[in-house]
Structure 1
Amino acid sequence: MEKQFSKSEARNSKKGILLVNLGSPKSTDVKDVKEYLDEFLMDERVIDYRWIFRALLVRGIILKTRPAKSAEAYKTVWTDKGSPLIVITEKIQKKLQKLVDVPVEIGMRYAEPSIENGIQRLADKGVSEIVLFPLYPQYAMSTTETVIEKAEEVRKKKFPGVKINYIQPFYNRDIYIDCLAESIKEKLPENFDALQFSYHGVPERHIYKTDPTKTCNLNDCCSRDDNPSHQFCYRHQCYKTTESVIERLNLPKEKTIVSFQSRLGKDKWIEPYTDETLETIPKKGIKNLAIVCPAFVSDCLETLEEISVEGKEEFLHAGGENFHYIPCLNDEDRWIDVIRTLCEEKLDEFYLV
């Protein structure tokens, strides 16, 4: 039986924060990239086929060729200190640690440092109540949900005496929207024809699978304020983030674009697709483009290579003239303040047991 915490115990327990990001290969070596992709793509919440079919697809097809290609891509973004995503997350940890009086550790959903390692480091410091922050603004089966499921699996198996409070998706929180809008505003070029919001894509079936209300139809429901599926709908949350940011920036809607990147395989993913959009908009008169990726809070392969390099090539080849990538929030001080606020809210909840 798991330990139950009384209010007095909660006040006397030591608390800590665990920041969880996606993860990265240990190096750009093909072997390390293959190991990372195997763990990532074999996650049933990323490729949601039955195990045997998932294994046939991932280990029988994808891992035969993709690791070598991905290794080359990683080499273009790798830093002297390692993976940009890991390096940035470590910077966030250090900055946050200076602002809070509880221990702060990091964990990755895939590869190292793992979620288990992060919980262990906190437990070694006497922490029994953890605020776990999945660093994803919007909710998706392949991001927030898989982090929580993995953390709960680890907690129940290895740390049954530890209690975890999870920070929920913050895609519509004013403090986050203000932070994102301010960051974008500072980096927008003076002259641009459109601002494109490119979100990581997911298969359409994921939207339906994560909707316990069964009210989502992927059509007009995203624009309705009262649809009960919104708290689980990744697509709605992406559009809501965009809507809120352009309102803060006072941009006309016709000067903004929403698209979804990184699709895998032949299944139907949520549309419109980023690559196809970049290839068609120059023909519509959009020659000067600014682009931002608000599904990510830390720059990584999907932003630095897929968008800033490949996306730029696609746009310019199609007739575009100027392509301006706007970096993620990374370790900006204003973003660290948002993280601190959201974490402190959850830390306070421990006292309300």
Structure 2
Amino acid sequence: MREVGAQLPRSESMEAVNSAVAQTKLLHLSGRNNNGSLDLSMRRRSTSVCCMKFTFHSSDSLQETDRSLGVTIIFLSFFNSNTYDGKILSNASSAAQERVGVLLLNLGGLETLNDVQPFLFNSFADPDIIRLPRLFWFLQRLLAQLISVFRDPKSKEGYAAIGGGSPLRRITDEQARALKLVLEDKDLQADVYVGMRYCHPFTEDALHQIKKDKITKLVVLPLYPQFSISTSGSSISVLQSIIREDVYFTRLPISIIESWYQRERYINSMADLIENELLIFSKPEEVMVFFSAHGVPLSYVEDAGDPYRDQMEECIALIMDELKSRGIHNHHILAYQSRVGPVQWLKPYTDEVIVELGRRGIRSLLAVPVSFVSEHIETLEEIDMEYKHLALESGGIENWGRVPVLGCTSSFISDLEDAVMEALPCASISSTRSAPSQCETEMEPVPNVINLFFWIHGCICAVAVA
């Protein structure tokens, strides 16, 4: 087994490594400035490896926008484990001094209908999902309970329509196994763990097992290509809280891949899928390529500085450039799905765009779920059922297609393996000090209460009339 942190084999061109790393954003989380705000810099590096380091400083005035800018920590760690069922494989020698771990983080996949309401509660209890001012922190769990109870019946209908559960957990496990195998091809024996944000196996459980297994080096890889407060940011908040409280993690070298939507092989993999699906249409050149991304509230971008929209637009531009290089010049459009409540979300909205395209005379539409690497309810029910029905009933669209998610596509898994190998040498030891456990918003309390009331009312009404 190659010593972690050693130079890559000469056969692997440093120029190629530099190029790959330049397409991967790693986070440097240096801590909090004198005002208590999070000093977060996300940048592309031109060097062969990039390092990320956690340093926390105590602060009495932690702004919510700062907290939400934490990154999704998807840990790719190599280590031993025997009991944690989120761990996919374990084959590291007990005699090995270096235990490297890979932890894949994702949102969570419900396996039965009984999991729906707890999943909804965990989602809405997350301060990065419902962002309350300090004055109303005590309402967080109460609101989560209220909303989850009202949304439970409608959500169960959606999961029942796709077989009573989500395949996301199973697919993530398969991705972990596939990743382990390609890492072995690079002579790196790795234990791969899966940590979910809102359901079993939880991220906290994975980190507990990492500690139990005495992992000595950790790489974190999110299964979200683009960074967002509500996905990557929420997961890294969990990591922050654990690091602050546990000496083991303060001494554990960690490398976190913040986003990877620019990686060449990822872009090529997406272009391959789109090209293959276009060939199914009788007139491929007339098909509108319709990118549908998971939406986030507009305030995340405009008020909290979420880079999600910019990264999504850049990602799609790169995919379309790759298609054009292959002689494919189809028109395309981006829209955002899955909005909840009456507040403004990123626009344009997927359902509204589908209707408008039909009115404009578009006859063939190819949906591309660009935010996701695993099939789940937003692809199988929302896109495949709701949006397909809407498109075909809109009076204009006659031909519908949908690009599958990347899943365990060999080129995609190989790219994840490259990302892990590149990030591993930059794992660095964290430096922690005490810090507040919850964040505070900059918004004024009274206006925010009014907005909160209408948001909750809108959520309840949306469920009641659906």
CA contact (8 A) 1:16 1:104 kept: yes
SS at match of 2:374: coil
CA contact (8 A) 1:288 1:323 kept: yes
Q: Residues 260 and 103 (structure 1 numbering): CA distance in 2 closer, same or farther, change over 3 Å?
A: same
Q: 1:307 aligns with which of 383, 389, 399?
A: 383
What residue is the counterpart of 1:85 in the other structure? 168
1:59 aligns with 2:145: yes
What residue is the counterpart of 1:119 in the other structure? 207
How big is the shift at 1:56? Answer: 5.6
How big is the shift at 1:26? Answer: 4.3
What residue is the counterpart of 2:315 in the other structure? 241
Query: Identity rate of aligned residues, in percent?
Result: 30
1:201 aligns with 2:271: no
Amino acid at match of 1:276: E
Amino acid at match of 2:269: C
What residue is the counterpart of 1:23 in the other structure? 108
Aligned residues: 320
What residue is the counterpart of 1:224 in the other structure? none
What residue is the counterpart of 2:407 in the other structure? 330
SS at match of 1:110: coil
| 1:270-309 equivalence runs, <5 A | 270-309=346-385
Amino acid at match of 2:194: I
SS at match of 1:99: helix
What residue is the counterpart of 1:33 in the other structure? 116
SS at match of 1:199: strand
Amino acid at match of 1:279: V
Q: 1:257 aligns with which of 333, 336, 339?
A: 333
CA contact (8 A) 1:207 1:234 kept: yes
What residue is the counterpart of 1:143 in the other structure? 231
CA contact (8 A) 1:136 1:143 kept: yes
SS at match of 1:339: helix
Q: 2:421 aligns with which of 320, 323, 344?
A: 344
What residue is the counterpart of 1:48 in the other structure? 131
State the TM-score, normalizing by the size of structure 1. 0.84
SS at match of 1:167: strand
Instruction: Tell me the distance in 1 between the aligned counterparts of 2:144 and 2:313.
Output: 31
Q: Deviations over 1:129-149 (max 9, x none)?
A: 211111111111101111111
What residue is the counterpart of 1:318 in the other structure? 394
SS at match of 1:164: strand
What residue is the counterpart of 1:171 in the other structure? 261
How big is the shift at 1:186? Answer: 2.0
Q: Residues 53 and 286 (structure 1 numbering): CA distance in 2 closer, same or farther, change over 3 Å?
A: farther
What residue is the counterpart of 2:186 in the other structure? none
Q: Provide runs of 4+ in structure 1 moved above 4 Å.
A: 52-57
How big is the shift at 1:235? Answer: 0.8
Q: Residues 176 and 305 (structure 1 numbering): CA distance in 2 closer, same or farther, change over 3 Å?
A: same
Instruction: Tell me the distance in 2 between the aligned counterparts of 1:129 and 1:352.
Output: 9
Amino acid at match of 1:83: S
CA contact (8 A) 1:155 1:162 kept: no
| 1:150-165 equivalence runs, <5 A | 150-158=238-246, 159-160=248-249, 161-165=251-255
Instruction: Tell me the distance in 2 between the aligned counterparts of 1:307 and 1:90.
Output: 23
- Deviates most, 47-56 or 297-306: 47-56
Q: Residues 64 and 337 (structure 1 numbering): CA distance in 2 closer, same or farther, change over 3 Å?
A: same
Q: Aligned Cα RMSD in Å? A: 2.5
For structure 2, the 5+ residue unaligned runs are: 1-53, 56-95, 184-188, 431-466
Instruction: Tell me the distance in 2 between the aligned counterparts of 1:209 and 1:164.
Output: 30
For structure 1, the 5+ residue unaligned runs are: 5-10, 212-231
- Deviates most, 142-151 or 161-170: 161-170
CA contact (8 A) 1:103 1:122 kept: no
SS at match of 2:291: strand
SS at match of 1:166: strand
The higher-RCO structure (CA 8 Å, 6+ apart) is: 2
Instruction: Tell me the distance in 2 between the aligned counterparts of 1:176 and 1:99.
Output: 16
- Deviates most, 41-50 or 257-266: 41-50
Instruction: Tell me the distance in 2 between the aligned counterparts of 1:243 and 1:35.
Output: 38
| 1:177-196 equivalence runs, <5 A | 177-188=267-278, 189-190=280-281, 191-192=283-284, 193-196=287-290
Q: Deviations over 1:294-335 (max 9, x none)?
A: 111111111111111101011111022121111110111111
How big is the shift at 1:12? Answer: 5.6
Q: Deviations over 1:10-54 (max 9, x none)?
A: x9642111001110234112xx21111010122111121243555
- Deviates most, 148-157 or 64-73: 148-157
State the TM-score, normalizing by the size of structure 2. 0.64
CA contact (8 A) 1:21 1:109 kept: yes
